[in-house]
Chains A and B, each alone.
Chain A
Amino acid sequence: MKIMFAAFLAIAVVAVGANLILKQAGFSSQERTSGAAVRLDN
């Protein structure tokens, strides 16, 4: 049971971590497809 919960926690950690890392590395949609002239974040 404990291992199962540990694994589910790991899923959450990996998901959030991957999201942050990829955004930092410049792989967000905004970074890849829009340009400097596009104002997405108000």
Chain B
Amino acid sequence: MLRALIALILTLSFFLSTASAQSADAPDRSATGGAQTLEDIMARQSGEAVDNSFRSDATGDASRAADISNQLGTLGGNSDPELWRALRFGSADTTASNTGPAATVLIQDGGMSWLKFRSGPLATYGGALLMGMIALLAAFFMYRGRIKIDGEKTGRKITRFKAIERFGHWLLSGSFILLGLTGLISLFGRKFLIPTFGHDAFSFIAVGSKWVHNNVSWAFMLALGMIFVMWVAENIPHRSDINWLRKGGGIFSKGHPPAKKFNAGQKLIFWSVIVLGLSISVSGLSLLFPFELNMFAATFAKINATGIGGFLGFGELRETLAPHEEMQYSQLWHSIVSFVLMAIIIAHIYIGTVGMEGAYDAMGSGEVEEQWAREHHSLWVEEVLGEEVVVAKPVRAVKAPASKAAKAAKTPAAKAVKGSAAKTTKAPAAKVAKAPAVKAAKVPAAKTTKAAAAKPKKAAAAKPKKTPPVK
């Protein structure tokens, strides 16, 4: 019964919608002699689409031209409005003394919609995205504060990034900052900087900004290539990423999910930068070499071929685009992708500087505090420091076995608890005794003891986790 009712309603609504589409027949323009009527003007002002073919087709006919001695004879039979309509809608035959693919385009009718979009939704939503990200990070900082290193700092450093890696990163980030700022000036400058600094000063800023943007882009593209080559291997998804993501990176919880050299969050940043950066670079190259690298027509043709237009409801995209249209789409795409990338990078800068203690060192000096590494990239520390895996693991394990070992340690160490030296000798002894109980059971006791004795500092490293229960 219900199904029949739904079927009936859907069928009726189908007929209703088609009926309303057919209600608009060819408008009567005899009152204005073929020119646009008040209805057309009202429709355009309210944002409806107006079929302009009555204007684009009214470009005159030279074959009906009056004789040269008649009135309007010298114009070749076309009136001025007809001439301008031909220029506006691209059907005029023009030649120009300057060169270039689009030199003969004097008026581009479709450009108004681009201009309105660029100064309207693009600027508004793009700006809102950036402000929103900053607000979100500020709120997060107020709630969570700076993420500190939980355990006690060992004072030892592990090399995280070599000089060439840091060079590549700073080449990319330095150029990105310059490109982002100059890009924002290009989009928002006229609106905000002219009222502030006046026309002459802004002209200087704008010309300089364009020079910087166009030329620093090469450094960005070079650095993007370097970063990809250096880090793609370590950014391939790994099993540990699933767990890391499920725990939200431990950002709201107390624990530290294990991670290799790059955790899942960093991998997201890497792939965002590579994919979006590549997209920005390609659209940017199209903008650097105007009218020469036209990619949207072909892209639209490919999209149409997939048939997704019919599925999502936007129909067929046009497959022939005028030269200026191609450039306009390139500019819009370039801006939209750059806003997204800027928002992501603002968050990246936050977490790498203010957001997390010990994170900046990775890119600053390349050497990170070992405790920071153990907490945030435990699997990477294991790889780097080698066999300490066996000793380190129980420390990193769940608190329960550690406290059991600590309780065992407490009794023999009860008298010598105050001396830290005593702790050093007692704790690993108790731990070694407990080692067979934990995962390290496979390793022969002799080896563990030797490891513990030969490298006392590893035991000292184990100390931070053990201290609270011992106390």
Partners in one complex: yes
Which residues of chain A have a CB within 8 Å of any CB of chain B?
1, 3-4, 6-8, 10-11, 14-16, 18-19, 27, 32-35, 37-38
Chain A residue with Cβ nearest B166: A3
Interface size bracket, B side? 20 to 34
Complex contacts, B366 vs chain A, CB 8 Å? 3
Cα distance, A15 to B220, chains bound together (Å): 10
Complex contacts, A37 vs chain B, CB 8 Å? 97
Question: Are B178 and A11 in touch, CB under 8 angstroms?
Answer: yes
Question: B166-191 CB contact bits vs A (8 Å, 1 = yes)?
Answer: 11111100110010000000000000
Question: Are A4 and B170 in touch, CB under 8 angstroms?
Answer: yes
Cα distance, A19 to B215, chains bound together (Å): 6
Complex contacts, B168 vs chain A, CB 8 Å? 7
Chain B residue with Cβ nearest A8: B174
Chain B's interface: helix, strand, loop or mixed, by majority? Answer: helix
Cα distance, A16 to B212, chains bound together (Å): 9
**Nearest chain A CB to B429 CB, angstrom units:** 43
A-B contact pairs, 12 of them (CB 8 A): A3-B167, A4-B170, A7-B168, A7-B169, A7-B170, A10-B167, A14-B215, A32-B290, A33-B98, A34-B99, A35-B99, A37-B97
* Closest 7 pairs (CB-CB, A-B): A7-B170, A15-B215, A14-B219, A18-B218, A33-B100, A7-B171, A11-B219
Question: Are A7 and B174 in touch, CB under 8 angstroms?
Answer: yes
Question: Are A11 and B98 in touch, CB under 8 angstroms?
Answer: no
Select one of A8, A16, A32 contacting B100, CB under 8 A.
A32
Question: Are A33 and B99 in touch, CB under 8 angstroms?
Answer: yes
Cα distance, A10 to B168, chains bound together (Å): 10
Cα distance, A36 to B117, chains bound together (Å): 37
Chain B residue with Cβ nearest A6: B167
Complex contacts, B222 vs chain A, CB 8 Å? 14
**Nearest chain A CB to B128 CB, angstrom units:** 30
**Nearest chain B CB to A39 CB, angstrom units:** 12
**Nearest chain A CB to B294 CB, angstrom units:** 15
Given A14-B219, A15-B219, A16-B215, verify A3-B98 contact (CB < 8 Å): no
Question: Are B171 and A10 in touch, CB under 8 angstroms?
Answer: yes
Complex contacts, A4 vs chain B, CB 8 Å? 166, 170, 174, 364
Complex contacts, B215 vs chain A, CB 8 Å? 14-16, 18-19
Question: Are B98 and A35 in touch, CB under 8 angstroms?
Answer: yes
Q: Is B289's CB within 8 Å of the partner chain A?
A: yes
